[in-house]
Homo-oligomer: A and B are copies of this chain.
Amino acid sequence: MADPAPLDVRIQDLLRHDGQFVRLRGWLYNARGKGRLLFLLLRDGSGICQAVVLRDAVGEEAFALARGLGQESSLELTGTVAADPRAPGGAELKVKGIRLVGPSRDYPITKKEHGPGFLMDHRHLWLRSRRQMALLRLRHRVIQAFRSYLDGEGFYCVDSPMFTPNACEGTSTLFRTDYFGEEAYLTQSGQLYAEASAMALGRVYCFGPVFRAEKSKTRRHLTEFWMLEPEIAFAGLDEVCDLAEGLVRHTIRHLLATGADDLADLDRDPEVLRAWDAEFPRLRYAEVAEMLMAWQAEGRYESEFRPGDDLGAPDETILGEHFGRPLMITHWPAETKAFYMKRDPEDPSLALGVDVIAPVAGEIVGGSVREDDLETLRRRIAEHDLPEDAFAWYLDLRRFGSVPHAGFGIGLERTVSWLSGVPHVRECIPFPRTLQRIYP
């Protein structure tokens, strides 16, 4: 009697088809076995399934084919789903038929250790490894969480441009391009444009790639990465802190709810994430500086930090350990901050900025209230030696119905790195671009 036509299913849905005759299509991740029995691990992007091949069930020819398959051969397997709590994913496939779709010989990425340079050169293939697939899916879920949270809060996605005639924070780290004979820059931040959009739609965000020609070679730097930048009209520091906290905590909950398998593939304990879904302490820079100096005096940690400085890695580390969850630091010394930040009316030496410092990862969010007074902003632009011409349109926002407004930026890949526990941001973007890498 002929088998019925198999049902095409994806591995993530396998358990729902217990006992049914199905077809899986994917790539050979690994194989083992001996004698008359083979275990094929098949991956299809949605998960990895153990397929049991018995010589007696598939016949001599198909068994020989299965035994000779190279890693990453593409296959169609037909067979019956069998729930089994011991199998990865809770179900395995009892194979009836095997069809080789595309062969694969001498796949370059094997079980042995490969150096990061080799893996990066083969990024187009490295993406197929369990950990990298999990990271891509996690990144997808963080994107979903960012957008669904803001959409739910009444925000509109209004994309800022990539080509810009002016630089937001200095020109030394800008990529330039020849724009039909004129010089144009690639954007470093969509914020200034998001401010214009917020004056139109009230609550907006831009979410796209930004570019930094930084010569840094740290694990936290990419020349191209994705940044989410919400901007709120009629808002101040409290609203921007509330929004940042709400967004980050929503993202954590979304990963816990939808990404359990990915976290498992990354050996990430969900309890670590769960602990961060708690109210974020909000401290002023001055309070934090006092704590850090006291801890230094007590010999609890070593650091070159002095009041007035930006936080360094050891400072962020100890704060993360102390609080055990993300921390919001507000009211920063104004000198080091960008020209567009509003000063604290009660102490003009302070800028109404907020950074969110996450345990282990360090800074993940940078936000501020924006200067909304025309004359103050003009003076600030002059003080920073920026060309007023280029900011004429930006100044218009303070000329015609200026309102208090605030926003922040959160880097997608840094967030993925933080939540996944994978320290290198280069693994948290599909095709990383760094000082030394533009291939593949």
Contact = CB atoms under 8 A, between A and B. Distances in A.
Interface in A91-131: 101-104, 107, 122-125, 127-128
A45 B433 CA distance: 37
Contacts of A140: 156-158
Interface residues of A, number: 95
Interface centre among A139, A143, A162, A178 (most CB of B within 10 A): A162
A423 interface: no
Interface in A217-254: 223-224, 226, 233-234
Given A158-B430, A161-B433, A74 B401 contact: yes
B177 A101 contact: no
A184 B433 CA distance: 11
A436 B396 CA distance: 22
A69 B183 CA distance: 41
B200 A128 contact: yes
Interface in A258-295: none
A401 B25 CA distance: 11
A182 B215 CA distance: 14
Contacts of A203: 45
Secondary structure of the A contact surface, majority rule = mixed
A72 B124 contact: no
Interface in A123-152: 123-125, 127-128, 132-133, 136-137, 139-140, 143-144, 147, 151
A433 B163 contact: yes
A43 to B, nearest CB: 9
A431 B186 CA distance: 14
Interface string A4-41: 00000010100000000000011110000000000000
A403 B102 contact: yes
Contacts of A386: none
Contacts of A330: none
A393 B124 contact: yes
Given A159-B430, A177-B176, A184-B438, A200 B401 contact: no
A185 to B, nearest CB: 10
B177 A156 contact: no
Nearest to A182: B438
B157 A233 contact: no
Contacts of A224: 161-163
Contacts of A26: 202
A208 interface: yes
10 contacts: A26-B202, A45-B204, A123-B393, A136-B158, A137-B201, A144-B147, A162-B162, A165-B439, A177-B186, A197-B430
Interface of A: 10, 12, 25-28, 44-46, 72-74, 101-104, 107, 122-125, 127-128, 132-133, 136-137, 139-140, 143-144, 147, 151, 154, 156-165, 175-180, 182, 184, 186, 193, 196-204, 208-209, 211, 213, 215, 223-224, 226, 233-234, 372, 392-394, 396-404, 429-431, 433, 435-436, 438-440
